[in-house]
Amino acid sequence: MKDLKRHSVLFVLLLSINVFSTTAVNAQQTIQFSQYVFNGLAVNPAYAGYKEDLTVNLSFRSQWVGIDGAPRTGTASVDGLTRNPDKKVGLGLIATTDRLGPQNTSSVYANYAYRLRIDEDDTKRLCFGLAFGATQYNLDGSKFIATDPGDGTIPVGNQSKLSPDLRFGIYFYTPKFYIGASAVDLLTTGRDMVTTDSYRIIKQVRHLYLTGGLMLPLSESFDLKPTFMIKEDFKGPTNLDLNTYLLINKIVWVGASYRTGVKLWDKTNLQNGLDQNDAISGIVEVFINPRFRVGYSYDYTTSKLSNYQQGSHEISVSFSLQGKKERVLSPRYF
């Protein structure tokens, strides 16, 4: 127990050094969700309106349980179509909060998607999305313990900074296939820091996402859905998520995910010998009815950090609200 506490203090100390260093530092990665497949709006604004009915998604993730100051992330989103009979416009709103040690990052984005109809049966759409919002960066000085009394690098009270942001995405889907690409934190510039008074706060950096998936019928009772996500920030290691879900009787999803770093090209800013392993996940999703879903995932860390924490937990809930007019929708598997 003493060893765990010692490593917990070390974790916060290392974070503190990164946050307050006046020399070059690594910028902050975007949030991580294992169940991102069930809430595409979290990574791509072009997803807005995909399920057509007004849909609400709620998620909470507790990462690296057992480490003081480890990430705690929550998100809430709502999206749907406008009353345009051609279903060309999707709108959405997403809010996220992410706490990491003494720093808390909160954001809100308004999403707009223009949806081009590709076939007469309206089973295929090419969507373009744009999101505009703002991110609030906050530092809580009370969470730092100074080794030297009166240390001027530690803030007194809370320090905060509001920063505007922009996202863009493309999303194409059919009943059995989808692929999407998006860019987030587009207004990030300079050294990826925001300044409040005399303190610098680590800012999220620009990220690119590439996502895709298939729906493969195996029998009347079973369907297989393999998916992937590549996340790139051009400064840290490229991240790859590989997921496979088995759909049982159109009610229960049982899945597994493997997350790792991959080397697509040489990055001169990275040190040699970095551990590429990240985590493996078990995921269960249950549709209580066609409009209400609950999900849970557990991540087992495969990196050296596994010795100091007890994994990561994530829960999610989504529900759709039926419009005034009953509409017959093709199944929405993505």
What integer pLDDT is reported at residue 255 of this predicted model? 95
Task: Report pLDDT for 61.
Answer: 92
Is residue 144 scored above 80 in pLDDT? no
Q: What pLDDT is attached to residue 18?
A: 39
**Cα dihedral 15/16/18/23 (nearest 10):** -170
* Tally of CB atoms within 10 A around 319: 16
Q: What DSSP element (H or E) covers 14?
A: helix 2-20
Mean pLDDT, all residues of the chain? 81
Whose tokens are 């590549």? That residue is 230
What is the spatial distance between Cα 228 and Cα 47, in angstroms, rounded to a whole number?
16
Select from 269, 193, 212, 209 the least CA-distant residue to 31.
209
The neighbouring-strand residues paired with 125 are 117, 173
Is the pLDDT assigned to residue 332 strictly greater than 90? no
Residue 210 has pLDDT above 60, yes or no: yes
- Do residues 75 and 61 touch, judged by C-beta distance below 8 A? no
CA 96 – CA 61 distance, rounded (Å): 11
pTM: 0.82
Greater pLDDT, 10 or 46: 46
Is residue 217 within 8 Å of 233, Cβ to Cβ?
no
Question: Most confidently modeled of 52-66, 92-106, 166-180, 252-266?
Answer: 166-180
Mean pLDDT across 116-126: 93
Instruction: Write the DSSP string, 207-255.
Output: EEEEEEEE-EE-SSSEEEEEEEEEEE-SSSPEEEEEEEEEEETTTEEEE
d(CA 303, CA 278): 5
Q: What is the pLDDT of residue 162?
A: 87
pLDDT (average), residues 267-293 = 78
d(CA 321, CA 319): 7
How many angstroms separate the CA atoms of 169 and 334, rounded? 16
Question: Residues 293-325: pLDDT tens digits?
Answer: 999 999 988 877 767 778 899 999 999 987 665
Does residue 249 register a pLDDT over 80? Answer: yes
pLDDT computed for residue 261 by the predictor: 83
Strand partners, 59: 75, 316
What is d(CA 116, CA 59) in angstroms, rounded to the nearest whole number? 29
Task: Kindly give, in sequence order, each residue whose CB lies less than 8 Å from that of residue 203, ignoring residues fewer than 6 positions away.
Answer: 27, 28, 137, 163, 188, 192, 193, 194
Q: What's 67's DSSP letter? A: S
18-32, 152-166, 281-295, range with the lowest pLDDT: 18-32
Average pLDDT over residues 138-154: 68
| 315: phi then psi, degrees, rounded to nearest 5 | -125, 150
Question: CB neighbours (10 Å) of residue 147?
Answer: 7
The partner residues of 223 in beta bridges, in order of sequence, read 217, 247
Contact status, residue 109 vs residue 129, Cβ threshold 8 Å:
no
